Structure 1
Amino acid sequence: MATIAVNGTTLYYERRGEGPPVVFISGAPGDAGFWTEIGDLLADEFTVLSYDRRGTSRSPRPEGWTNTSMDEQADDAAALLEALDLAPAVGYGHSGGGLVLTNLALRHPEVLRGAVFHEPAFLTVTPAGRAVVEGLQGIVADAMARGGPRLAMELFLRWADGDEVYEAMDPAFRDRMLDDGEVVFGMEMASSVGYLPTAGQLAQIAVPSVVLAGTDNADPEARLHCLHGAAQWAADGLGVPLIETPGAHLPQATHLHEYAAIVRPVLARLAAPVDA
């Protein structure tokens, strides 16, 4: 188990393969386990880095740490890349990890060669998204009252990834995430929901960028259509096209090889030297 002390915390990380570096940043919960299978597939071409965000899963909670911010999360990612001598890397931010990547691209562009925003969780940019946030907050509050953080985390994962994906998860991976409920809902949720860059700030992101969204979520009747809308909003703000991936919010779990075939050339293009 590899850990490293950076930015006043200790982070668990996994490093695979050799080649241009790519760092995967998970949303909530911030567990590296979301990237195990795709990391193994991409390790023949890239140095694949994933990590448990601070206080999450195998990254211990810092003493006295009671809340976080997007600045802190981005500073952690930048410090990790620099400590492992992997900067500049292509950053890949999924869901809430896309918010971390946005902050990273704005405040630490020197550590990035490119950025991939996969359904970044800018949920409040549309009325439907704001309604979804309110509904989710109600689900979490009810679950916390009935069963505490573990039940709230289970219902959140089922909401975000679907019942079939949840049931098929590796039991150890799933159990780690259930234990992350206190951090996700007590320390992270407020900063995630409250983080929304302006259109002007998005336009300031200078690193080459790509935005991805699940094709199933393009359907206006889809339960998580708001995430597709958030991705389109981000793509418009960055001035880049939106690329669709198979399935819904977690294609690495439902359509692994089809998803890898789309992501691999995207990463290769962003990882290529500017003068290549």
Structure 2
Amino acid sequence: MPTIDVNQTKLHYEIRGAGPPVLLIMGATGDGGHFDALAEELADEFMVISYDRRGNGRSPVPDNWQTTSPEEQADDAAALLTALGTGPVAVFGTSGGGTFALCLMVRHPGSVRGAILHEPMLYALVDTVDAVPAPVRASIQKAMEVGGPPAAVKRFWCYVAGDDGWARLAPPLRKRLRDTASTLFGIELGTYELYMPDDETLAASTIPVRLLVSDDSPPVFAQMADRIAEILGADVDTVPGTHATYHEHPHELAEAMRPLLRRSF
């Protein structure tokens, strides 16, 4: 099980394929295992790097770690790339991972050749800031009261990916999500959702970006994607499925990603 010490933490990572490097960044629950099928789809053409973000999945909780930030998450990703010696990569980030990918672009532009942001969590761009987190909190509150973080993460995932979303996850992945659910609920949530670089910084970026929105996601995800795309001068494309399209439609998602990945190198 490959791990690497970077940025005062230990990260589990996996590399598939050979070719131009592509980094996949997961959002909430932070486990790179969500991308197993997507990584296999892309590995015929690219070197695909997935990893468990700090304190998630197979990456242990750092000593005395009590909070995080987009900057810390971006620094972890950049340090991982440096340690692996990949050079600049094309990056795909989904949900909160899209937020971290955006921060990586801004904070470490030399590490990024191109970026694909799938429904990034950018609450600062919605008309009502509580529009996204309020339904999530309502969905998981009872589960948290009954079974704590392990039960709440199951309820959370069903909210994200539909009622059968949890059943679609491989049993080892489900176990890891339960085992590290305290990272999501005790450390991460509330630390990154309002991240937003100023318009001038974003407009000055020359890194090519594409936004992706899932057909069956709530409209607020499209609203966030459309607004950041307008600031960046980027296009927005649709992909099938829910917020967890990488589980439901990995082939279609990979095919939607390939054109920008190719243009990045």
Q: TM-score range by the shorter chain?
A: over 0.9
| Residues 35-114 of structure 1: pairs in structure 2 closer than 5 A | 35-114=35-114
- Equivalent residue letter for 1:262: A
Say yes or no: does 1:229 pair with 2:215.
no
Q: Which moved more, 1:198-207 or 1:78-87?
A: 198-207
Alpha-carbon distance between aligned partners in 2 of 1:54 and 1:101, rounded to the nearest angstrom: 15
Say yes or no: does 1:242 pair with 2:236.
yes
User: Which residue of 2 is the match for residue 187 of structure 1?
Assistant: 187
Q: Could you tell me which runs of 5 or more consecutive residues in structure 1 were left unpaired when the two chains were aligned.
A: 218-223
Decide whether aligned partners of structure 1 residues 200 and 22 sit closer, same or farther in structure 2, where only a CA change above 3 A counts.
same
- Offset at 1:255? 1.9
- Offset at 1:244? 1.1
TM-score w.r.t. the length of structure 2 is: 0.95
- Equivalent residue letter for 1:227: F
Decide whether aligned partners of structure 1 residues 140 and 120 sit closer, same or farther in structure 2, where only a CA change above 3 A counts.
same
SS at match of 1:190: coil
Equivalent residues of 2:114, 2:260 under 8 A apart = no
Q: Which moved more, 1:3-12 or 1:243-252?
A: 243-252
Q: Could you tell me which runs of 5 or more consecutive residues in structure 2 were left unpaired when the two chains were aligned.
A: none
Equivalent residues of 2:124, 2:195 under 8 A apart = no
Equivalent residues of 1:88, 1:113 under 8 A apart = yes
What percent of counterpart residues are identical?
Answer: 41
| Residues 82-161 of structure 1: pairs in structure 2 closer than 5 A | 82-127=82-127, 130-161=130-161
Alpha-carbon distance between aligned partners in 1 of 2:256 and 2:80, rounded to the nearest angstrom: 27
Alpha-carbon distance between aligned partners in 2 of 1:251 and 1:104, rounded to the nearest angstrom: 23
User: Which residue of 1 is the match for residue 257 of structure 2?
Assistant: 263
Equivalent residues of 1:57, 1:176 under 8 A apart = yes
Equivalent residues of 1:124, 1:130 under 8 A apart = no
User: Which residue of 2 is the match for residue 178 of structure 1?
Assistant: 178
User: Which residue of 1 is the match for residue 214 of structure 2?
Assistant: 214
Equivalent residues of 1:128, 1:226 under 8 A apart = no
Alpha-carbon distance between aligned partners in 2 of 1:108 and 1:13, rounded to the nearest angstrom: 20
Cα-to-partner distance string for 1:16-67 (whole Å, 9 max, x where unaligned):
1110000000001110111111111211110000000001110011111111
Alpha-carbon distance between aligned partners in 2 of 1:196 and 1:143, rounded to the nearest angstrom: 31
Alpha-carbon distance between aligned partners in 2 of 1:209 and 1:19, rounded to the nearest angstrom: 20
SS at match of 1:185: helix
Cα-to-partner distance string for 1:207-254 (whole Å, 9 max, x where unaligned):
11111111233xxxxxx2211111111111111110111222122222
Alpha-carbon distance between aligned partners in 2 of 1:140 and 1:194, rounded to the nearest angstrom: 21
Decide whether aligned partners of structure 1 residues 144 and 201 sit closer, same or farther in structure 2, where only a CA change above 3 A counts.
farther
Alpha-carbon distance between aligned partners in 1 of 2:135 and 2:197, rounded to the nearest angstrom: 23
Equivalent residues of 2:96, 2:193 under 8 A apart = no
SS at match of 2:28: coil
User: Which residue of 1 is the match for residue 248 of structure 2?
Assistant: 254
RMSD: 1.5
